[in-house]
Amino acid sequence: MGWTRKILRVDLTKGTCQSEPLNMELAQQYLGQRGLATKYFVDEVDPKVDPLSAANKLIMATGPLTGTPASTGGRYSVITKGALTGAIACSNSGGYFGAELKFAGWDMVIFEGRSAKPVYLAIENDRAELRDAAHLWGKTVWQTEEIIKKSHQDPQTRVCSIGRAGENGVLYACIVNDLHRAAGRSGVGAVMGSKNLKAVAVRGTQGVAGIKDAKAFMKAATAAKKALADNAVTGQGLPTYGTQVLMNVINEMGALPTRNHRDVQFEDARKISAEAMREKRPTDGKAQLVTNAACFGCTIACGRISKIDESHFSVVNKPEYWGASGGLEYEAAWALGAANGVGDLEALQYANLVCNEDGYDPISFGATVGAAMELYDLGILTKEQIGMEAPFGSALALTKLAEMTAQGVGFGKELGLGSKRLCAKYGRPELSMTVKSQEFPAYDSRGIQGMGLAYATSNRGACHLRGYTVASEVLGIPVKTDPLVTTGKADLVKAFQDATSVFDSAGVCVFTTFAWSLADLQPQLDAACEGDWTMEKLALVGERIWNMERQFNNAAGFTAKDDDLPPRLKTEPAKTGPAKGLVSGIDKMRPEYYQVRGWDAGGVPTKETLARLGL
Amino acid sequence: MQKSLHIDPVKCTGCLQCEMACSFENYGVFNISKSRIKVFNFEHEGRMVPYTCTQCFDAWCLNACPVEAIKIDAATGAKVVHEATCVGCKVCTIACPFGTVNYVAETGKVQKCDLCGGDPACATACPTGAITYVDADWTGLDKMRSWAGRTDTQARVSA
């Protein structure tokens, strides 16, 4: 059946945990995870709600393939109204937590209200209870996980938690599970912190039973795994180099945003690339990369496990950082590196460790540091205000600011608000490289035109994971399109956005889409889930989810004006590389996109569109 | 030919496909808590290691069992728990030096790897070749080949 058919509803105000049946009619229309949880969310929460108020809710949701041997079938998502963005937020994470939640018998957990004091949720199969978390408050993610496992006397417990960033109101705080996997973007961790909810600990021993047609499912899952193994990206590139395989590629394309998007190529890209992570360091003769690693059920294994250089200035006399740990992934390496002009690989890994340890998004953090460094460069922010010299390229400033943000001290408090609020405060709002208050990831809209449209129209603010047209414009998946032109990008973005909505709702990882189309996912879903899951139905589900999210944002007060890029990307041409002389063609693509979507000129879905999608 | 499960931890990514395959083979559910093979993640070292019964030739569990519920499968050499005979006394779990035979509260019996009758599901499911089912006398063959390849004898160029 795919679903466990059970929802856990946790009222943090009253301190109660209640089981309720999953609405199976909605499951047929919204599948699971992102789609289904967002449906529950929009039905229950006022779009105008203050994200950090008790009236906001937070949902942790698995998909129908979570906890099955479908490759990458271990995902869960966190759905809420984003603290950073004020838009619908949906942050997806791997690791082992999602599958464990499913094995405990829950499709999703809905948190509502706000606890008067710090608590954590302990789940053991059908039993769930809120427990005092006074002893955990103020602790890092890593400490919290260790303390809970010890006190439960169960090393097999899986934990997700917020660190000090989530407690301190860092607006891009994450929820981190299994030490270094994160529901990373839009500030879902800040919402969790505002509810005084420190962690969720889960142990599930019930497994996933009742797959609709187990034989057909195993056949489909095996065929799909073979497709991943045979594909050059998922079978070789990602396991060998991780997502960091992109650093040199995107730099060569002239699409690597550098120094707060002043430049599109980074002279030190090579030093912070996947290739550099595999090279032996002169200091200790060891490579930073230790091994690759998989999340639950994943046959790609793109994850990076690294060891920092013990003699690096950031960790001298700090043995707690010397062990193997997660990182660097491409987005983090870009944001902590190129976005600030920092070419010190070990400094990036240290900042990345601090982000994991205290639970905040390295993309938004790194990009915000980039904005601060530009303000410093312009003389708007001073050494006294920041507490140190902070020129572009300063590894020392990056690492110090990472610590200050984690601890919520000094200038770290201002960095914790994100670049939109920071730049506005200092009178230069146009220097914030954001859409809907969320910082860009690692692709420049001038060198990869489709990504500009994907960012501008992403329902959770600037993001590469809502419509990854890089696959087509750079890697030629499923077909190669020209990254420098706007023609055809409206259709391309819509197709990626709708398909991704289905993958995000199924319980699998979007990275499968380098090798899989919906046609590879469909037989797995159809064999696992009750109902008739045709290609047509899935395509409609994807588009329905996208429009539902859009409607929430429109009701929250977003308009077509918010589907835009910062002026720099529209007026300052790329200085070097293949895109030299180009600006983003977002103003040309946006109306085309609205038309392709069946929305009016104001970006509002028409009645016909809503009727067609059953909204 | 007698075959045996062979584990190469360097290749393990920690995906747990082996654990799901084991539980599905033996219980018809995807439930890693029922798996007879277990992957251990030594997080701070960056090492993941699958571990299960190695089918000792002179098996402690078999010798310890007071009711002779653990028998040798003649075809595979696996030491197999006969559930109908097992009384759940757990003496075998004490006797086994490796911890690979464990009690199952739900059934009141013990469970251990039985090599799936000669076609181990974990090895089939492993995507990286970290778990293989190979000639029991030659589990070192791949390592030998790898080291043999590093000897510095020149390849002969044929005319």
How far is residue A412 CA from its own chain's centroid? 22
For A275-321, the pLDDT digits (tens) are 999 999 999 999 999 999 999 999 999 999 999 999 999 999 999 99
Does residue B47 sit at the A interface (CB-CB below 8 Å)? yes
Distance between A549 CA and the closest CA of chain B, angstroms: 32
Can you spell out the DSSP letters for A15-81?
TEEEEEE--HHHHHHH-SHHHHHHHHHHHHS-TT--TTSTT--EEEEE-TTTTSSSTT---EEEEEE
Can you spell out the DSSP letters for A351-398?
HHHHHHHHTB-HHHHHHHHHHHHHHHHTTSS-HHHHTS---TT-HHHH
At a CB cut-off of 8 Å and minimum separation 6, what does B81 contact? B69, B70, B101, B109, B110, B111, B112, B114
At a CB cut-off of 8 Å and minimum separation 6, what does A244 contact? A273, A274, A277, A304, A328, A329, A330, A333
* Contact (CB<8Å) B29/A179: no
Amino acid at the residue A191? V
Q: Per this entry, what is the length of chain B?
A: 159
* Contact (CB<8Å) B29/A209: yes
CA distance A107 to A9: 11
CA distance A516 to A539: 15
CA distance A424 to A266: 27
CA distances from B105 to A22, A56, B111 (A): 30, 42, 10
Q: Which residue from A207, A301, A306 is facing B13, i.e. has the nearest CB?
A: A301
Q: Per this entry, what is the length of chain A?
A: 615
Q: Which of A284, A397, A271, A419 is nearest to A334 (CA)?
A: A271
Amino acid at the residue A205? T
Is 70 exceeded by the pLDDT of residue A491? yes
* Contact (CB<8Å) A297/B34: no
What part of B 81-100 touches A (C-beta under 8 Å)? none
Best of B33, B37, B106 to disrupt the A interface (most A CBs within 10 Å) is B33
- pLDDT at residue B36 in the model: 98
Percent of residues in chain B assigned helix, strand, coil, to nearest 5:
30, 20, 50
Does residue A216 sit at the B interface (CB-CB below 8 Å)? no
For A6-51, the pLDDT digits (tens) are 999 999 999 999 999 999 999 999 999 999 999 999 999 999 999 9
Q: Which of A222, A332, A38, A476 is nearest to B21 (CA)?
A: A222
Chain B residues whose beta carbon lies within 8 Å of the beta carbon of residue A102: none
- pLDDT at residue B155 in the model: 65
Task: Establish whether the linkage from the previous residue to A12 is cis, with ω within 30° of 0.
Answer: no
CA-atom Rg of chain B in angstroms: 18
Is 80 exceeded by the pLDDT of residue A1? no
- ipTM score here? 0.95
Q: Could you say which DSSP state residue B94 is in? A: H
- And the tokens for A119? 């608590």
- pLDDT at residue A130 in the model: 98
* Contact (CB<8Å) A325/B47: no
Is 70 exceeded by the pLDDT of residue B159? no
For A64-120, the pLDDT digits (tens) are 999 999 999 999 999 999 999 999 999 999 999 999 999 999 999 999 999 999 999
Chain B residues whose beta carbon lies within 8 Å of the beta carbon of residue A179: 43
Does residue B34 sit at the A interface (CB-CB below 8 Å)? yes
Is 90 exceeded by the pLDDT of residue B158? no
Burial (CB count within 10 angstroms: exposed 0-12, middle 13-18, buried 19+), residue A44: exposed
- pLDDT at residue A133 in the model: 98
* Contact (CB<8Å) A205/B33: yes
Best of B8, B17, B23 to disrupt the A interface (most A CBs within 10 Å) is B17
Angle at A479 between CA A477 and CA A484, to 5 degrees: 95
Q: Which residue from A69, A71, A324 is facing B43, i.e. has the nearest CB?
A: A324
| Phi, psi of A181, deg, nearest 5 | -110, 140
Query: Mean pLDDT, to the nearest integer, of A407-413?
Result: 97
Chain A residues whose beta carbon lies within 8 Å of the beta carbon of residue B103: none
- pLDDT at residue A209 in the model: 87
Does residue A386 sit at the B interface (CB-CB below 8 Å)? no
Q: How confident is the model at residue A121 (pLDDT cuts 50, 70, 90)?
A: very high
CA distances from A298 to A190, A221, A293 (A): 29, 12, 9
Does residue A615 sit at the B interface (CB-CB below 8 Å)? no
- Asked if residue A321 lies in contact with residue A356, where contact means CB atoms within 8 angstroms, the answer is no
Does residue B15 sit at the A interface (CB-CB below 8 Å)? yes
Tell me how many residue pairs between chain A and chain B have CB atoms under 8 A apart: 87
Q: Could you say which DSSP state residue A500 is in? A: H
Chain B residues whose beta carbon lies within 8 Å of the beta carbon of residue A208: 29-31
Does residue A229 sit at the B interface (CB-CB below 8 Å)? yes
At a CB cut-off of 8 Å and minimum separation 6, what does B149 contact? none
- pLDDT at residue B157 in the model: 63
* pLDDT above 70 coverage of chain A, percent: 100
Best of A62, A298, A308 to disrupt the B interface (most B CBs within 10 Å) is A298
